[in-house]
Amino acid sequence: MTKRTFNVWRGDGGAGALAAYEVEVNEGEVVLDVLHRLQATQAPDLAVRWNCKAGKCGSCSMEINGRPRLACMARMSTFAPDEAVTVTPMRTFPVIRDLVCDVSYNYQKAREIPSFTPPPDAKPGDFRMRQADVQRMQEFRKCIECFLCQNVCHVIRDHEENKESFSGPRFLMRVAELEMHPEDTADRRAIAQDEFGLGYCNITKCCTEVCPENIKITDNALIPLKERVADRKYDPLVWLGSRIGLRKGADTPLPPNTRTTTATPEQ
Amino acid sequence: MSETTRHNYDVVVIGAGGAGLRAAIEARQQGRKTAIISKSLFGKAHTVMAEGGAAAALGNVNSSDSWQVHFRDTIRGGKFMNDPRMAELHAKEAPERILELEHWGALFDRTRDGRISQRNFGGHEYPRLAHVGDRTGLELIRTLQQRVVQLQQADAAELGHPEAMLRVFAETTVTELLTDASGRIAGAFGYVRETGEFVVFEAPAVVLATGGIGKSFKVTSNSWEYTGDGHALALRAGATLINMEFVQFHPTGMVWPPSVKGILVTESVRGDGGVLRNSEGERFMFGYVPDVFRNQYAETEEEADGWYADPANHRRPPELLPRDEVARAINNEVKEGRGSPHGGVFLDVSTRMPAEEIMRRLPSMHHQFKELADVDITAGPMEVGPTCHYVMGGVEVDADTGAARVPGLFAAGEVAGGMHGSNRLGGNSLSDLLVFGRRCGIGAARYLDGLAGERPAPAAADVERLAEEVAAPLRRDTGENPYQLHQELQQTMNDLVGIIRRGPEMEQALESLEKLRERVASVRAEGGTAYNPGWHLALDLRNMLAVSEAIARAALTREESRGGHTRDDFPAMSPQWRRTVLAARLAGDRVELERRPLDAMRPDLLALFDREELSKYLTEEELPPAEGADTASKEEK
């Protein structure tokens, strides 16, 4: 057992500051264990969002010594023995309290993506898909929605104004996943560019770097999606079709009334 | 204190794990305005922790599988204590529910011919678990989450707002169910975790889908949410809980480092070839095959190893016995001094298959051990030991509709009792929550049909009283720290009502719980109402106490050993006790037990077992006539 210095951001949406704590640390512990000890011994109302404590649910996202990480997977043994540990909430989202952010932006973006659309005449049990064909999407479906990629992405990290027109790596990856699904019949390429802001991404790979599931977001989802979008845009047949009015309705539109609603419905 | 917001819904689903989401989807598909209330963010439920898969007799890998064989395995696993109707519905409907998920976008691992692949698991006769690597629960939750979004998109298009018919109230906790003067469900009362604001949901139908109770135990694979809320809400609303003595200790939880003690190591490790060894290097499970399973399990390592490739001509390895058997065996090895350095046993895949295959089949296990324990499972063994994992007991419900004994109350998933008898088979929980989640959604819709527009009204005085109760811990100037009280409760349950139980220890546990009850009644929470975990825990303690009392009392009463209930002082299984279900109800603020007869199995289902096997479980008078009993089973498909 040793004592460590923890600087923890305390405060609510309006104001806050780092508070310093001296806290006990035992062998094998992770940052989340230490935050729990703080709650049990010194700061009972310290707000921390967490669930599984096993890197599977993606709840305990925060910035630890400046790096976006899951607190449950940040082992204390990876810090130098006398290194202070500074824990702050994710910067891209509004703070609710202490280390807890309002991540509703992400749920809003999820709702704007046209859902999986199987062939109209297909029935449950009809699909025959090869492992090789589902494996690509399975990588994306490892996503635990910790939103660390969203948090680190420079398009929105310090640019609140881009949030409306940019869905972020997690949800562009979701678009890529649906576009690659062998049984999906929608075409989200146009809205990926026009509504979800794929063009903002300049493949700096920050998202890939912070992904706790080691998903190759940029290489395997975003770049292939960019290629698909370019294929559609510069395909001479598509161009011709749109000129003579044959392609009407081929692009799946943004689902109606999913973007502008903020007020809750009439009770 | 905060103000109270009111909402009106047809159906309120408490819990946003697999069962809750499936119930809500169904209620909405039945045309009912539905609210989903979740203690966590949408998509973070404990279901994501389920690794191995969802059991369904699709027969994709071995075409000999059928619902009858699945039913038989489930009953065997539950040691014949299962509600037979629930086990039947489950086995019959699980395949449809899995295929439906695929149609909603789930991407299961595939067979060579492009269908859903299935893997072996403890207690299942054939490869039966539809899976995605070792993260099946995540796939299930994400698919249901995305189905909810899809329905919301349809409502947005048709009705102008995505939340017109189906809305998720994230990070909201229900502290009490509301009833009308005649005891019917009228809604639910709770608070928003982010703000502390109070909410009243007026609704004639409430579906409980709150999961389990693991946080009453010290070593558990369960997350903080598993505080037995639904169990306690049901008790306080006048419903009954059955089978609470049956708590599953999963045989393989991590044992080191201490901070991750209890975190689950999936049974797929064993299903895919992993073996258990003690400190002497012995595959000790061969010494623990009980008489009732003797004919189905291998006696030598050669025979066991042959089974993976050629199951038709070999019996199963004993590592794949039902979970209760394996957990007790590990417990005993450690107790007799043949444990691993950190008090578990060794689970090894590294000598059983190439590293590459381990990485493909068990990626999250590899990740988990690498990140949390610095162990490379492709190079050496894991250390594992039993961890509190699942409660078989829960709300007493009607099998077909999920209706509890309080009009308007329904329950599905882990919070419901009966389906798994005294011990749940791995893979049966994901299928359980799909099958009965859907049935609850339909059950709630039909109940509303019966009300014909009438809406039971909650009493206004109740709401005021509840708001007072919830705010009380924040107002106290003295009182104990909730974290301390929680720790003591967990220690008590772990030490005195754990995997091996003794009468005097459980009496002691009940005394300790009684003392804790007084202390919890005056617990103090420091700080304000906004996102205050200390306050939230102070409120959850009451539920954990009620559930712990129900477990301890039922465990003390049942004088036999069966499945997830092992009595040192009553080590044998008793056919008489098999016929008795213990139902807990609240009398004042104390838990009382009633005895009920367990429903008899229909003759056509009974015929799936041969007489010799039945005679190990049933009393003489329950046994079918000696002749012709075991021919029927061979014909059915």
Rounded to two decimals, the ipTM of the complex is 0.95
Q: What is the pLDDT of residue A267?
A: 41
**Residue B157: pLDDT band with limits 50, 70, 90:** very high
Contact B107 A141 (CB under 8 A): yes
| CA atoms of B119 and B102, how far apart (whole Å) | 17
Q: Is B111 annotated as a binding residue?
A: no
Rg of chain A in Å (alpha carbons): 22
Q: SS3 for A210?
A: helix
What are the φ/ψ torsions at residue A19 (nearest 5 degrees)? -115, 135
Contact B163 A265 (CB under 8 A): yes
B242-269 mean pLDDT? 92
> How would you classify the pairing of strands B166-169 and B129-130?
unpaired
Q: Is B50 annotated as a binding residue?
A: yes
Q: Is B20 annotated as a binding residue?
A: yes
Residue among B162, B372, B532 whose CB faces A257 most closely = B162
Contact B6 A44 (CB under 8 A): no
Give the residues across from B391 on adjacent strands.
B247
**Residue B636: pLDDT band with limits 50, 70, 90:** very low
B592's tokens = 């009382």
Pinpoint the alpha helices (H) of B8-83: 18-29, 67-77
Average pLDDT, chain B: 95
B407, pLDDT greater than 90: yes
| Residue of chain A whose Cα is closest to the Cα of B41 | A59
**Residue B134: pLDDT band with limits 50, 70, 90:** confident
Residue A157 CA neighbour count, 13 Å, CB half: 17
CB of B262 within 8 A of CB of B43? no
B576-602 mean pLDDT? 96
B135 at A interface, C-beta within 8 A: yes
Q: What is the pLDDT of residue A266?
A: 46
Lowest mean pLDDT among B104-108, B256-260, B396-400: B256-260
Residue B475 CA neighbour count, 13 Å, CB half: 8
Minimal CA–CA distance to B117: which of B136, B90, B103, B104? B136
| CA atoms of B235 and B241, how far apart (whole Å) | 7
Provide the greatest CA pair distance for chain B.
Answer: 73
Please tell me what DSSP assigns to residue A114.
P
Chain B residues touching A116 at Cβ < 8 A: 104-105, 146, 150
Residue among A56, A181, A258 whose CB faces B156 most closely = A258
Contact A39 B150 (CB under 8 A): no
* All residues at 6 or more sequence positions from A251 whose CB lies less than 8 Å from its CB, including other chains: A187, A189, A190, A191
B265 at A interface, C-beta within 8 A: no
B342-368 mean pLDDT? 92
CA distance, residue A241 to nearest chain B CA (Å):
28
What is the percentage of chain B residues whose pLDDT exceeds 70?
Answer: 98
Q: What is the pLDDT of residues A10-30, one digit of tens each?
A: 998 779 999 999 999 998 899
CB of B165 within 8 A of CB of B33? yes
CA distance, residue A117 to nearest chain B CA (Å):
8
A191 at B interface, C-beta within 8 A: no
**Residue B33: pLDDT band with limits 50, 70, 90:** very high
Q: Which residue has the tokens 């999606």?
A: A225
Can you identify the CATH homologous superfamily of domain A2-101? Beta-grasp domain (3.10.20.30)
For residue A209, give the H/E element and its range.
helix A206-210
Verify cis geometry, omega within 30 degrees of 0, for the bond prior to B257.
Answer: yes
Which positions 333-372 of B are in contact with A (Cβ < 8 Å)? 364, 367-368, 371-372
B359's tokens = 């990485």
Distances (CA, A) of B544 to B40, B187, B497, B609: 18, 22, 14, 39
What is the percentage of chain A residues whose pLDDT exceeds 70?
Answer: 95
Contact B161 A265 (CB under 8 A): yes
What are the φ/ψ torsions at residue B16 (nearest 5 degrees)? -125, 35
For residue B586, give the H/E element and its range.
strand B580-587
A84 at B interface, C-beta within 8 A: no
| CA atoms of B598 and B617, how far apart (whole Å) | 13
| CA atoms of B7 and B9, how far apart (whole Å) | 7
CATH 3.20.20.20 fits B250-388, yes or no: no
| CA atoms of B110 and A182, how far apart (whole Å) | 13
Locate the domains of chain B by residue range. Answer: 1-45+135-246+392-599, 250-388, 603-636
Among A12, A41, A52, which would you mutate to test the B interface (most chain B Cβ atoms within 10 Å of its Cβ)? Answer: A52
Give the residues across from B119 on adjacent strands.
B129
Residue among A48, A56, A97 whose CB faces B48 most closely = A56
For A104-243, which CATH class?
Answer: mainly alpha
Give the residues across from B276 on adjacent strands.
B347
Please tell me what DSSP assigns to residue B629.
T
For residue B596, give the H/E element and its range.
strand B590-597
Residue B222 CA neighbour count, 13 Å, CB half: 25
A262 at B interface, C-beta within 8 A: no
CB of B423 within 8 A of CB of B563? yes
Chain A, chain B: beta-carbon pairs less than 8 Å apart: 198
Can you identify the CATH homologous superfamily of domain B1-45+135-246+392-599? FAD/NAD(P)-binding domain (3.50.50.60)
Q: Is B353 annotated as a binding residue?
A: no
| CA atoms of B386 and B504, how far apart (whole Å) | 23
CA distance, residue A13 to nearest chain B CA (Å):
11
**Residue B259: pLDDT band with limits 50, 70, 90:** confident
Residue among B138, B157, B162 whose CB faces A111 most closely = B162
Q: Which residue has the tokens 């999936």?
A: B266
Lowest mean pLDDT among A180-189, B536-545, B619-628: B619-628
> How would you classify the pairing of strands B198-202 and B382-391?
unpaired
Contact A46 B161 (CB under 8 A): no
What are the φ/ψ torsions at residue B265 (nearest 5 degrees)? -115, 115
Q: What is the pLDDT of residue B627?
A: 66
Q: Which residue has the tokens 């799936």?
A: B608
Lowest mean pLDDT among B5-14, B252-261, B336-345, B513-522: B252-261
Which positions 83-102 of B are in contact with A (Cβ < 8 Å)? 96, 99-100, 102
Lowest mean pLDDT among A121-125, B238-242, B254-258, B501-505: B254-258
CB of B76 within 8 A of CB of B83? no
> How would you classify the pairing of strands A85-88 and A2-11?
parallel
B568's tokens = 């040192």
Locate the domains of chain A by residue range. Answer: 2-101, 104-243
Contact B260 A257 (CB under 8 A): no
Q: Which residue has the tokens 């609140």?
A: A160
* Residue of B72, B142, B167, B323 with catalytic role: B323
What are the φ/ψ torsions at residue B584 (nearest 5 degrees)? -95, 135
Q: Is B142 annotated as a binding residue?
A: no
B323: annotated active-site residue: yes
Residue among B103, B259, B532 whose CB faces A45 most closely = B532
Chain B residues touching A39 at Cβ < 8 A: 483, 533-534
| Residue of chain A whose Cα is closest to the Cα of B366 | A213
Among B8, B36, B41, B370, which would you mutate to test the A interface (most chain A Cβ atoms within 10 Å of its Cβ)? Answer: B41
Contact A134 B110 (CB under 8 A): yes
Contact B530 A96 (CB under 8 A): yes
| CA atoms of A169 and B252, how far apart (whole Å) | 36
For A6-40, b where at least 16 C-beta lie within 10 A, e where not — what string?
Answer: bbbbbeeeeeeeebebebebeebbbbbbbbbbbbb
Chain B residues touching A111 at Cβ < 8 A: 149, 152-153, 162
Which positions 23-52 of A are in contact with B (Cβ < 8 Å)? 26-30, 33, 39-41, 44-52
B4 at A interface, C-beta within 8 A: no
**Residue B637: pLDDT band with limits 50, 70, 90:** very low
What is the percentage of chain A residues whose pLDDT exceeds 90?
Answer: 84
Residue B31 CA neighbour count, 13 Å, CB half: 3
For A128-166, b where at least 16 C-beta lie within 10 A, e where not — what string?
Answer: ebeeebbebbbbbbbbbbbbbbbbbbebbbeeeebbeeb
Q: Is B173 annotated as a binding residue?
A: no
**Residue A261: pLDDT band with limits 50, 70, 90:** low
Which positions 388-417 of B are in contact with A (Cβ < 8 Å)? none
CA distance, residue B156 to nearest chain A CA (Å):
5
Vertex A258: Cα angle to A141 and A151 (nearest 5): 50
B132 at A interface, C-beta within 8 A: yes
CA distance, residue B542 to nearest chain A CA (Å):
18
| CA atoms of B130 and B54, how far apart (whole Å) | 5
Which positions 137-166 of A are in contact with B (Cβ < 8 Å)? 137-138, 141-145
Distances (CA, A) of B22 to A127, B85, B143, B295, B547: 22, 20, 10, 38, 25
A265, pLDDT greater than 70: no
Rg of chain B in Å (alpha carbons): 24
